[in-house]
Amino acid sequence: MSSFTLLVTSAPFSQQNAYSAYRFANAAVQSKHKVNGIFFYQSGTINGSNLQITPSDEFDLFNAWKTLSQQYQVPLMVCVSAASKRGITSTEDARDADNPHFSLSAPFESVGLGDLANLINNSDRLIQF
């Protein structure tokens, strides 16, 4: 069994990268490997937005991430500094900024880049999408 950290740097739907990362993560856990975490950075942070509404005839990546996380205990970590600039904020971050709205909720977590360093330290491979 090997372990992976996935770094997702592009927005869902606009580019295929986030979907590819999801398929990779799914294949890894199916093959009994461990995905230590998916780290969302840059526009990848938009994957965490709980305001996404996917048409019923399209693949719902947002809910697919959530299912993957819950089924296989894969942490979904969203970089707070990259996310805030893009309107992706947790309740706590929104409160700190005196903003009544938030768009990030469990199982997505608001974290710092130090958490990525930890993930990398504990993984055999880092794969960027």
Partner 1 sequence: MILHKVASSPFSHRALDHCLQRIHATDGLLLTQDAVYGLMDKELSTKLQQLEAVFVLKEDAEARGIEIEPSTIQLINYEQFVELCLKYEKVISW
Partner 2 sequence: MSQTNKIAIVNKSAPYGSSNGQESLDMALAMSNFAQEVSLFFIEDGVLQLLDTQRPTAIDAKAYHKTFKALEFYDIENIYVCKQSLAQRGIDSSQLCITTTLIETTELPELLASQQQVMCF
- Give the interface segment with partner 2, choosing from 25-33, 52-60, 67-75, 119-127 (CB under 8 A): 119-127
Region for residue 13 given its phi and psi (left: phi exceeds 0; alpha: psi -120 to 50; beta: otherwise): left
Known catalytic residue: 79? Answer: yes
Q: Which does 2 bind (CB under 5 to 8 A by kind): partner 2, partner 1, none?
A: partner 1
State the first-to-last Cα distance of the chain, in angstroms, to the nearest integer. 22
CA atoms of 30 and 11, how far apart (whole Å): 25
Does the protein bind partner 2 through residue 82 (CB under 8 A)?
Answer: yes
- The 22-61 site mask, x for binding partner 1 (CB under 8 A), equals -xx-xxx-xx-x----------------------------
Angle at 111 between CA 74 and CA 10, to 5 degrees: 70
Cβ at position 123, least distance to partner 1 in Å: 11
39 sits in which H/E element = strand 34-40
The residue type of 121 is N
Tokens for 80, please give them: 């707070």
The residue type of 32 is K
Give contact residues for partner 2 (rule: CB under 8 A): 7, 9, 41-42, 81-82, 112-114, 116-118, 120-126, 128
Q: Which residues are catalytic?
A: 79
Binding site for partner 1 (CB under 8 A): 2, 4, 16-17, 20, 23-24, 26-28, 30-31, 33, 124-129
